[in-house]
Copies of this chain bind each other. A is one copy, B any other.
């Protein structure tokens, strides 16, 4: 941060404007002038000060992504995709995490954690609609994830109900009838699993199976340990499912560990389906059948939405607010339901 346009201008014996023109590849510069200025730039090792440019232009080229937890491979993989897509659009990504804690999610949404950003992609877990309704920050916001919001912000997700239905249908199609859902929340106020639970119910009813509450297991969180605890508790209570549909892959993996410890064979005794398609599920002793959301599409939709919005803030023609943008998903069938071939 030492040599500025002015220094280059003096060295080349031209005005600041001319140097700026060269730096920004302005069309109308004579070749001779261009090489002369370029020479001065190279000799001095000039690098434009982006902060100054940002101040002048009112934009930073940075978008923030806030996820619950980087320790969850789904979010780590998603973050990687967001970084790539953002780079395609010449944006860099500021990463933050909230631990899925409502208070932190509010702080992030209000811009109190990072305030030099052009836009924000937030994947909330506990945030409520009201928290966002009272939002005062004016940087464009895009929401990710399984929660439903009725707010003037774009929301990007896969069709969670349909995905859950596909997962459970796969299990009923294999003749399973006692299909547990692992990963609900006890406090109905906060129910990220809401839609997936609904898909579970619908698919069961389709097959003439009455959903039983004893087969719905609550969890404290959605990590491997939470899945293990929930699975163990269900088995201890005497409930014996012949299949498990888990809120996500981590919960499924925790459940599989417990099943393994108890001598229950996956998939023969209990079939397991997860959600997220994290890489981990492709390499265990028993590979995991799972709902695979198109992470790259999610990343692309999110980044493009936020960018179009920050452009819209300047130009006139805005898109409607609060769109529901849906990415594709796929059911990937592996050993945890099909067995080893």
Interface residues of A (CB under 8 A from B): 1-2, 45, 47-52, 54-55, 58, 60-62, 69-71, 73, 76-77, 79-80, 83, 87, 92-97, 111, 113-116, 136-138, 223-225, 228, 253-254, 256-257, 260, 279-280, 282-286
Question: How many angstroms between the C-alpha atoms of A97 and B60 in the bound complex?
Answer: 20
**In contact, B94 and A92 (Cβ under 8 angstroms):** yes
- Which B-chain residue is minimally distant from A225 (CB atoms)? B283
Taking CB atoms, residues of chain B closer than 8 Å to A2 are 138
Q: Which residues of B contact A285 (CB under 8 A)?
A: 256-257, 260, 284-286
- Are A58 and B257 within 8 A (Cβ)? no
A243 to chain B, nearest CB (A): 19
A270 CB → nearest B CB, Å: 14
Knowing A45-B136, A116-B50, A224-B282, the reply to whether A69 touches B62 (Cβ < 8 A) is: no
Q: How far is the CB of A38 from chain B (nearest CB, A)?
A: 16
Bound-state CA distance A49–B87 (Å) is 25
Residue contact B62 to A70, C-beta cutoff 8 Å: no
- A254-B279 in contact given A116-B60, A138-B1 (Cβ < 8 Å): no
**Provided the pairs A76-B70, A257-B283 are in contact, do residues A115 and B83 lie with their beta carbons within 8 angstroms?**
no
- Taking a contact as CB atoms under 8 Å apart, the answer to whether A115 and B50 are in contact is yes
Query: A50: which B residues are within 8 A, CB to CB?
Result: 115-116
Contact A83 B55 (CB under 8 A): no
Pick 30 A–B contacts, CB within 8 A, sort by A: A1-B58, A47-B115, A48-B115, A49-B55, A50-B115, A50-B116, A51-B54, A51-B55, A52-B55, A60-B116, A62-B94, A69-B80, A70-B70, A70-B83, A71-B76, A71-B77, A71-B80, A71-B279, A76-B79, A79-B95, A83-B96, A87-B113, A93-B96, A224-B279, A224-B282, A224-B283, A257-B283, A257-B284, A285-B285, A285-B286
Distance of A55 Cα from B52 Cα, bound (Å):
6
CB-defined contacts of A54 to chain B, threshold 8 Å: 51, 116
A296 to chain B, nearest CB (A): 13
Other CB < 8 Å A-B pairs besides A70-B79, A71-B77, A83-B97, 10 of them?
Answer: A2-B138, A48-B115, A51-B60, A54-B116, A55-B55, A62-B94, A76-B79, A93-B94, A225-B283, A260-B285
Residue of B nearest to A79 (CB): B70
Chain B: minimal CB distance from A301 (Å): 19
Question: Which residues of chain B are within 8 angstroms of A62 by Cβ–Cβ distance?
Answer: 62, 94, 116
Given contacts A83-B96, A96-B83, A115-B50, contact A228 B283 (CB under 8 A): yes
